[in-house]
Amino acid sequence: MKLLAQQRELQAKIPDIEKCLEVVATLQAKKGTGEELIADFEVSEGIYSRASIEETDSVCLWLGANVMLEYSLEE
């Protein structure tokens, strides 16, 4: 039962991971063009904000438990 619960939890995370990969691919595509990326993101449950993302070489991934890691776009 515990293994099935873990499997369901991991499968529920797949859409979020795919969205993150799409954003990284978009950042890589815009790199070197000088264009800014306009993104809407969730600040809190039901509260969204708009941000302008300038050209960058890295992304930060939230791992949970107050842990965030910075990776290059290639990684």
Residues 6+ apart with CB under 8 A from 36: 52, 53, 54, 55
pLDDT of the residue at 15: 92
For residue 14, give its domain range: 1-72
Domain count, the chain: 1
State the DSSP H helix or E strand holding residue 70, giving kind and residue range, or none if neither. Answer: strand 67-72
pLDDT digits (tens, 9 = 90+) for 19-44: 889 988 988 888 888 888 898 988 99
pLDDT tier at 63 (50, 70, 90 boundaries)?
confident
Does this model's pTM top 0.85? no
